[in-house]
Structure 1
Amino acid sequence: MNLEQTEFSAKGKTFQRFLFYKNFYGAEKPVLITEGKTDIRYIRAALKKLHNKYPSLITLEEGGTAKYKLTFFKKSDITEQYLDLNKHGGSIFEKVWNLYHDNQIFRKKNFNNIYDYFQRIGSRYKSPVIMIFDNELDVEGSPIQQFINKFGSNAKIIFDTEYEENIHLKRQELKQAGKTRQQIDSEIKKFQKDFTEDKKTQLKTKLRKNECIHLKDNLYLMLIPLIKPEQSKSDIEALLLPEDIEKINQKFGKQFNPSEREFIEKDNYSKDKLSKQIMYSYQNISFENFKKLFENIEKIINHNIT
């Protein structure tokens, strides 16, 4: 689908703003955006099992029907066409973030002035939008590392006022020191590089400490929590107890294997199959390690994250 083939009509632009408001800026319930569809299944199952502990996130109606107080964002052809959120393949986190920065990150035609429109009319954002990443801060090429790199390279857009003020002060300082134009240009380039690296380092430091951070307005970033001090990375499957996965191994007569490259059909079963089985047998699964995840979500909802 060529998103930039033609300009959206006025009607198309209005519909685009509606989608952004409905799904993100003006969402009635907190929105969770995850790396994959299996993450949503685990979260749903865990909340059903732990519903008594998290009444702000879920209630069970008569008959056991779950009433989630969260919205689980689902990609579609419509959100791909109008918001550039690709339905298949690749992370959409950076693209959601781009919408909140009025397309200044990717600068694609058709996606300008969506966020700015609601600022101009004085519309107030509602519930938090939480982007949940696997905790892979030190994994080369991981979605969170890609996001941090993009964050750093766009620091002068994100922190525009701070950046412009510091650049101005730096130029004044260099001029007063009698530096030549060439020396000033060289020093400014170094300042720009340092500014970028500092913002990347600050973001990583905050995420290591808190596992979640406020990005802008109602947009937040959160990592899957680490369960043990010696852990260096974590995904949502890592929150499951080994003994629970072993029970499912026994049931299928195969070993769970999250890797697509090393997957052997006759010996292994996939993330998709595991997540469906967890949904089916959630009452027999311990979701003890999911509590930190839900506590962090509650912190964000209660505005206890900076």
Structure 2
Amino acid sequence: MSRSAAHRDFPLYATATVCLWIFSAQGNTILTAAETLDIASVPADLQVPPLSPGPPAAGRRVKSRLAGYETTDIYHVVYLPTDWVPGKSYPVIVELAGNGPYRSPFGDVSTGRPEGSKLGYGLSAGQGYLWFCLPYLKADGRSIATQWWGDRPHYDPQPTLRYYKQAVPELCKAYGGDPTRVVLAGFSRGAIACNYLGLYDDEIARLWTAFVPYSHYDGVYEKWGYPQADRKSALERLQRLGQRPQWICQEQGPTATQGLTATQRYLESSGVSGHFTFQETGFRNHNDAWILRPSATRHSLRRWLQQVVTPGQRPEQR
């Protein structure tokens, strides 16, 4: 992301949201918004590029398949930044989508498919980062799950985990992704999956440098319906985080049992010491399209992202 892109948020700070900085007794950073808006009231300054046919290239977003999945319906989406050149090393954003089909009373929509994701593009403005949007797999390993992972009632995560463990190293190798600078981001289901899948076992947990879970968090709400949604299981997964940073954000207005404050309290009561930043988006929408609009939150998140992918600055994993 260029310096000009990083500073593009400033003109509409007053329009988008006002943020207050608070520091908890545990030393975590908490940013709360004093205003709440609908995303429709703030014009987007970014548009996710349409899907293109053919192989990946600079500035193009394409569907692609892993070796071994050519005869299945499974695909992921690859975006190479506008400044991409072969042989150069880049930080990576791996993104996981929300559940679908979903539509909120405010008109927010999620399809549950990889091509619907937006966080990585809004974070990078299309420059400086490889962006890989990965699917969730059904139990047969041949089709995409748009609700959670696997199939009800068992919601077996193993086909999805196998895909991620293959995809991340292979995609990094193919396009110059730096395996020491891989950020896992997710919206809604994807936010929960940052820990549920991203920290599921030691092998997959080693893939990530930092995490951006937007809207929900593994273990805060225990009645989603899939196995091991309880806090005890979530805390076992959280132990694999170590000191790697997480930027935890959420829209304003969710129920008290699922909102940002609930996540903060959950982590503070967990006994887990980590590098957590909590921030509201400033919008009421359950919609990752907020990241395509200028706001104080987006600016802060971009600055944080630049810091965590700076070579030599990666916090050690416990």
Q: TM-score, with normalisation over the residues of structure 2?
A: 0.33
Higher helix share: 1
Higher strand share: 2
Tell which structure's C-alpha radius of gyration is larger. Answer: 1
Q: TM-score, with normalisation over the residues of structure 1?
A: 0.34
